[in-house]
Amino acid sequence: MAALDSDLLRTFVAVAEAGSVTEGAARIYRSQSATSLQIKRLETVLGRPVFERHGRGVVLSDTGRTLLPVAKDVTARLDAVLRDISQDAVRGKLRLGIPDDHGRSKLAEIIAAFTRHHPEVELDVTCALSTTFPEALGKGVLDLAIYEVERPSSHEEVLYEDPTCWVSSTSRRFSPDETLPVALFDHACWWRDAAIASLKASGTPYRMVYSSQSVSGVIAAVEAGVAVGLLGRSSLHAGLSVVNDTLGLENTPSSKLVMVSGQQKETEPTLAMKAAIRAAFLVRRD
């Protein structure tokens, strides 16, 4: 008789909770192809599908709905036993800073997975405007931080590179002959300087009509048709379009999401979190 493997169950739970194979793979630090193969193996053992395709994601089948609570219970019990028996559990405190917009949902998933695997670590997470993080690291207020830069320094590990572009609402057309209304980031953000440099280089007359500290604020102004804005390509969706060529605007630099430790001698919690974040973003690149 075939047996249910705990590793297959763990993969199943991750995909079920994420609602997609891609995001489920990121939670368990596997490639998408490896995760799909695990799900196929599970379905071979059961003789029935556990998921049904739904748009870009998946939903549980009747078999999946029956299996999910059992799979969660089994994997939770195994994790608890391992923690009780293992003498190598990671312990300590970690003060982590993550940006309040870019990658927030993905980083939140990584942190949730980290907490499940390392329950002995006391996490103190700050979710805020990330321009303050380098100073907080320097003052010893944070142990580890994730933030965006235009040009990373040697001590800043690049996790993800996001090309930037000028974006407009698909429902609003701006003429290259008019004074262009723009939505810009706050004075403390390098994105603002990059946007103004692009406008000046192209000789485009402009007026600032909206200013925000957050990506969501700029997106809201662009979606409303109030202005054009400089955004990362990861922020694009069906209601937005790139207008660099249409309006004759100069290209802008890519944004780099970086990870930085403020500790001279990194602790076990810091090393474990860095490994988890690094692995998740490597999966994202794949």
Give 232-274 pLDDT, tens digit per residue. Answer: 888 888 899 999 998 999 889 999 999 999 888 889 999 989 9
On whether both 248 and 265 belong to a single domain, the answer is no
Residue 87: per-residue pLDDT: 56
On whether both 171 and 45 belong to a single domain, the answer is no
User: Quick one: DSSP state of residue 178?
Assistant: S
Residue after which a domain boundary falls, among 36, 67, 85: 85
Q: What token pair was written down for 200?
A: 């000046």
On whether both 46 and 105 belong to a single domain, the answer is no
Q: Which residues pair with 123 in a beta bridge?
A: 94
Residue 88: per-residue pLDDT: 64
> Does residue 144 contact residue 273 with C-beta atoms inside 8 Å?
yes
Q: What token pair was written down for 17?
A: 């909770």
> Does residue 35 contact residue 15 with C-beta atoms inside 8 Å?
yes
Residue after which a domain boundary falls, among 56, 85, 114: 85
End-to-end CA separation in angstroms for the chain: 36
User: Mean pLDDT across the chain, nearest whole number?
Assistant: 87
Number of structural domains in the chain: 3
Report the pLDDT averaged over residues 121-138. Answer: 88
pLDDT band at 183 (very low <50, low <70, confident <90, very high): very high
Q: Which residues pair with 157 in a beta bridge?
A: 259
On whether both 78 and 119 belong to a single domain, the answer is no
Query: Does 57 reside within a domain?
Result: yes
Residue 111: per-residue pLDDT: 83
Question: Which of 3-7, 81-85, 123-127, 227-231 has the weakest average pLDDT?
Answer: 81-85
- pLDDT tops 80 at residue 286: no
Q: Which domain holds residue 173?
A: 164-253
Question: Which of 3-12, 84-93, 255-264 has the weakest average pLDDT?
Answer: 84-93
Helices (H), the chain: 6-18, 21-27, 32-46, 62-85, 104-117, 133-138, 190-201, 215-223, 244-247, 268-285
Residue after which a domain boundary falls, among 57, 85, 113: 85
On whether both 152 and 260 belong to a single domain, the answer is yes
Q: What token pair was written down for 245?
A: 């060529």
On whether both 10 and 56 belong to a single domain, the answer is yes
Query: Does 202 reside within a domain?
Result: yes
On whether both 237 and 264 belong to a single domain, the answer is no
Q: What token pair was written down for 172?
A: 């609003």
pLDDT band at 93 (very low <50, low <70, confident <90, very high): very high
Q: What token pair was written down for 266?
A: 């990194």
Nearest to 222 by CA among 213, 231, 234, 214: 231
Query: Does 58 reside within a domain?
Result: yes
On whether both 133 and 149 belong to a single domain, the answer is yes
- CA–CA–CA angle 104, 110, 115 (5° rounding): 125
Query: Does 123 reside within a domain?
Result: yes
On whether both 59 and 96 belong to a single domain, the answer is no
Query: Does 1 reside within a domain?
Result: no
CATH of the domain at 236: 3.40.190.10
Neighbours of 268 (CB within 10 A): 16
Neighbours of 193 (CB within 10 A): 13
